[in-house]
């Protein structure tokens, strides 16, 4: 038989914690909500492969942007 004071199973704890935080956010005053949403977060810890993948994505975005600008300029002429 389960009692109210028992800890939730480990796989359910993050979900319950997230739901508790959402419930608490609903009860904040507007200025408190702004203060909490403006609080900076620490940088994410990414693997070396993820960092490389993000750099590849950045380079691709710059090259694709340059191609679009070049095509636009050529079509205007």
The tens-digit pLDDT sequence of the chain (77 residues) is 455 555 555 555 554 555 566 666 677 777 777 787 788 889 989 999 999 999 999 999 999 999 999 999 999 98
CB atoms under 10 Å from CB of 57, counted, come to: 10
What pLDDT does residue 66 have?
Answer: 98
Same domain, 57 and 76: yes
Same domain, 49 and 23: no
Residue 2 in domain? no
The pTM assigned to this predicted structure is 0.50
What pLDDT does residue 74 have?
Answer: 96
Residue 14 in domain? yes
* 3-state SS track over the chain: CCCCCCCCCHHHHHHHHHHHHHHHHHCCCHHHHHHHHCCCCCCCCCCHHHHHHHHHHHHHHHHHHHHHHHHHHHHHC
Same domain, 21 and 50: no
What pLDDT does residue 13 have?
Answer: 53
Backbone angles phi and psi of 28, in degrees to 5: -80, 150
What pLDDT does residue 19 have?
Answer: 56
Could you identify the residue written with the tokens 């609080």?
A: 39
Number of domains in the chain: 2
Same domain, 49 and 66: yes
């Amino acid at each position: 038989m389960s009692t109210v004071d028992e800890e939730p199973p480990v796989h359910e704890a993050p979900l319950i914690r997230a739901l508790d935080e959402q419930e608490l956010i609903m009860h904040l005053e507007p200025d408190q909500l702004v203060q909490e949403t403006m609080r900076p977060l620490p940088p994410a810890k990414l693997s070396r492969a993820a960092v490389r993948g993000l750099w590849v994505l950045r380079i691709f975005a710059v090259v694709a942007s340059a191609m679009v600008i070049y095509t636009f300029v050529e079509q205007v002429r």
